[in-house]
Amino acid sequence: MTFARIAGTGSYLPDNIVTNLDLEKRVDTSDQWIRERTGIEQRHIAVEGQSTVDLAEQAALRAMEAAGIKANDLDLIVFATTTPDKVFPSSACLLQARLGIENGCPAFDVQAVCSGFVYALTTAEKFIRTGSSKKALVIGAEVFSRLLDWNDRGTCVLFGDGAGAVVLEASEETGILSTHIHADGRYEKLLHVPCGVANEFDAVKAGTAFVEMKGNEVFKMAVNTLGRIVDETLEANQMQKSDVDWLVPHQANLRIIAATAKKLNMPMDQVVVTVNKHGNTSAASIPLALDEAVRDGRIQRDQTVLLEAFGGGFTWGSALLRY
């Protein structure tokens, strides 16, 4: 059997940091409220001219270096983003050109908002399992700050920008054990940007295409749904909760993360938390957290790692892997 194994990870954050105290000057909020309700202390925000593909390029270079491969060794690029540089070409194609890849490998974007990285990983894993790909670059990158109404305290305090990447390679030994993705489009109005190219495009042109969220209702759905995906993933692999060494969750809110850890009977020191420093970077949050814990030596080879996410759509998913 062929597995898709993570050969290398990489990430990149814009230098510009916006703290809760900075936001206090902008909207009617407080550092205390943001910390207590979300766990967020600061977030990195891209400066003018810095794009999703700019961030992704740096993360990709780091992941390829860690995997010990050259760009032209890649035979697939799957790029998760909700904030692409252009309507088209896809961010994956733009990144392919930036990386100097001339081998004609397939490159495409996946859009599942905060679950985007899990969706992209699931897609790339299937290419590897079926033998269509041997070395795949999977990216989650966002400049979510561009979708925010900086006068809406209910959303602007929550998000940040960044990029994370992994190189997946075919392995006969071990790698991703299972992936699980789901969607339910009926919840569109609880979390959305209510316009796009084919609908209310004037708002896009006017720069008012902003995230709208019924935070409290999304919160409850996220906690319940993530609890169910944990059960589904463990059952599919006939594993016990205690078999999981690390939880690398989507980083939306520390209270949601803690609820999932509790569901796994897992102490918080087995959970990779970056939401305090990064905020919610949407599709970038899981690969950013994974890269941090791999590079600082917490996640070791042969350990069992559970990735999970919930986001707009609604979409949700998980991946269980032997690192």
Q: Any catalytic annotation for residue 114?
A: yes
286 near ligand ACO, judged by CB under 6 A: no
Between 99 and 272, CB nearer to ligand ACO: 272
227 near ligand ACO, judged by CB under 6 A: no
256 near ligand ACO, judged by CB under 6 A: yes
Among 12, 119, 127, 219, binds ligand ACO (CB under 6 A): 219
181-191 exposure pattern, b = at least 16 Cβ within 10 A, e = fewer: bbeeeebeebb
Torsions phi, psi for 257 (to 5 deg): -60, -45
Cis peptide before 314 (omega within 30 of 0): yes
CA 166, 146, 38, 313 dihedral sign is negative
User: From residue 69 to residue 98, what is the string marking binding to ligand ACO with x (rule CB under 6 A)?
Assistant: ------------------------------
Between 64 and 118, CB nearer to ligand ACO: 118
Q: Any catalytic annotation for residue 250?
A: yes
The radius of gyration of the chain's CA atoms, rounded to the nearest angstrom, is 18
H or E element that contains 292: helix 285-295
281 near ligand ACO, judged by CB under 6 A: no
- Please enumerate in sequence order all residues whose Cβ is within 8 A of that of 224, keeping only pairs 6 or more positions apart, or say none: none
CA 242, 239, 221, 165 dihedral sign is positive
**Tokens 């809760």 correspond to what residue?**
20
Of the ranges 4-12, 62-70, 117-125, 214-222, which one interacts with ligand ACO (CB under 6 A)? 214-222
Which residue, 192, 142, 228, 223, is CA-closest to 313? 192
For residue 163, list its beta bridge partners: 12, 141
Between 158 and 166, CB nearer to ligand ACO: 158
Which residue among the candidates 93, 105, 114, 156 is catalytic per the annotation?
114
222 near ligand ACO, judged by CB under 6 A: yes
252 near ligand ACO, judged by CB under 6 A: yes
Measured from the Cβ of residue 228, the count of other Cβ atoms closer than 10 Å reads: 12
215 near ligand ACO, judged by CB under 6 A: yes
# residues near ligand ACO by CB under 6 A:
25
- For the bound state, the minimum distance from the C-beta of residue 180 to ligand ACO, rounded and expressed in Å, comes to 17
User: From residue 19 to residue 38, what is the string marking binding to ligand ACO with x (rule CB under 6 A)?
Assistant: ----------x---xx--xx
- Please enumerate in sequence order all residues whose Cβ is within 8 A of that of 177, keeping only pairs 6 or more positions apart, or say none: 3, 237, 304, 320, 321, 322
User: From residue 135 to residue 164, what is the string marking binding to ligand ACO with x (rule CB under 6 A)?
Assistant: ------------------xx--xx------
272, 278, 282, 283: CA torsion to nearest 10: -60
Residues belonging to the active site: 114, 250, 280
Binding residues vs ligand ACO (CB under 6 A)? 29, 33-34, 37-38, 113-114, 153-154, 157-158, 191, 215-216, 218-219, 222, 252-253, 256, 280, 282, 310-312
